[in-house]
């Protein structure tokens, strides 16, 4: 792998910290999952206001047209576009580039099916978003913005997220590595 294209963790951390300071100063702290429920709430308040007001969860979201929603969706869009562009630019620099887009560890455990990999990724993302809303925020909202603001719930979320990820990886890849 070409080390010229790799950014050190220190530079990435400083860049993320500066981005967080700028985002918080100009608009609000970083977070992605809230955009989905705010948008749902805005639509519900327009289409079925009685339902939105009677629903405890939706009642606190989307009552006003907040320009921060557009900012949040730009962040979501930027993550998708940025991830796609980065994947294309660095495609040849990936350790498993000669084997396609499926890592060897995944292939050994679950086979070479791209469809199976994409479906697992999609449904994993859906579960992650559902869990993020149950927790009151996603990994960017809690672990970047929340921890930087010293929110106790974010520290708890961070610990539980890492413990859950480790346990799930051990379960998925049990005896296969």
Do residues 144 and 159 touch, judged by C-beta distance below 8 A? no
Which residues, at least 6 apart from 100, have a Cβ–Cβ distance to it below 8 Å? 112, 114
Cα–Cα distance list, 120 to 13, 83, 96, 128, 136 (Å) = 29, 18, 19, 12, 24
Residue 154's nearest CA partner among 163, 144, 168 is 144
CA–CA separation, 24 vs 70, rounded Å?
15
Tell whether the model's pLDDT for residue 119 goes beyond 90: yes
Q: Write out the two tokens for 131.
A: 């869990």
pLDDT of residue 66: 55
Burial class (CB in 10 A: 0-12, 13-18, 19+), 15: exposed
pLDDT > 70 in the chain, percent: 85
How do residues 78-93 score in pLDDT, each as one tens digit? 888 988 888 788 777 6
Mean pLDDT of all residues belonging to the chain: 80
Among 125-129, 132-136, 142-146, the range scoring the smallest mean pLDDT is: 132-136
Bigger pLDDT: 175 vs 63: 175
pLDDT of residue 1: 46
pLDDT > 90 in the chain, percent: 7
Confidence of residue 125 (pLDDT cuts 50, 70, 90): confident
How do residues 146-171 score in pLDDT, each as one tens digit? 888 888 988 998 898 889 989 988 88
How many Cβ atoms are within 10 Å of 58's Cβ, its own excluded? 21
How many Cβ atoms are within 10 Å of 90's Cβ, its own excluded? 14
On whether the pTM is more than 0.75, the answer is: no
């Amino acid at each position: 792998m070409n080390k010229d294209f790799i950014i050190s963790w220190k530079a990435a951390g400083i860049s993320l910290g500066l981005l967080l300071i700028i985002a918080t100063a100009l608009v609000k702290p970083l977070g992605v999952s809230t955009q989905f429920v705010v948008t749902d709430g805005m639509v519900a308040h327009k289409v079925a206001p009685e339902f939105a007001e009677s629903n405890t969860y939706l009642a606190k979201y989307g009552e006003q047209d907040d320009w921060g929603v557009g900012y949040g969706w730009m962040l979501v869009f930027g993550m998708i576009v940025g991830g796609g562009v980065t994947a294309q630019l660095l495609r040849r620099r990936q350790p498993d580039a000669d084997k396609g887009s499926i890592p060897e560890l995944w292939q050994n455990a679950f086979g070479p099916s791209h469809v199976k990999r994409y479906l697992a990724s999609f449904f994993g993302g859906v579960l992650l978003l559902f869990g993020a809303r149950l927790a009151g925020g996603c990994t960017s909202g809690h672990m970047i913005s929340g921890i930087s603001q010293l929110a106790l719930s974010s520290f708890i979320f961070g610990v539980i997220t890492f413990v859950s990820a480790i346990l799930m990886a051990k379960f998925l890849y049990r005896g296969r590595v």
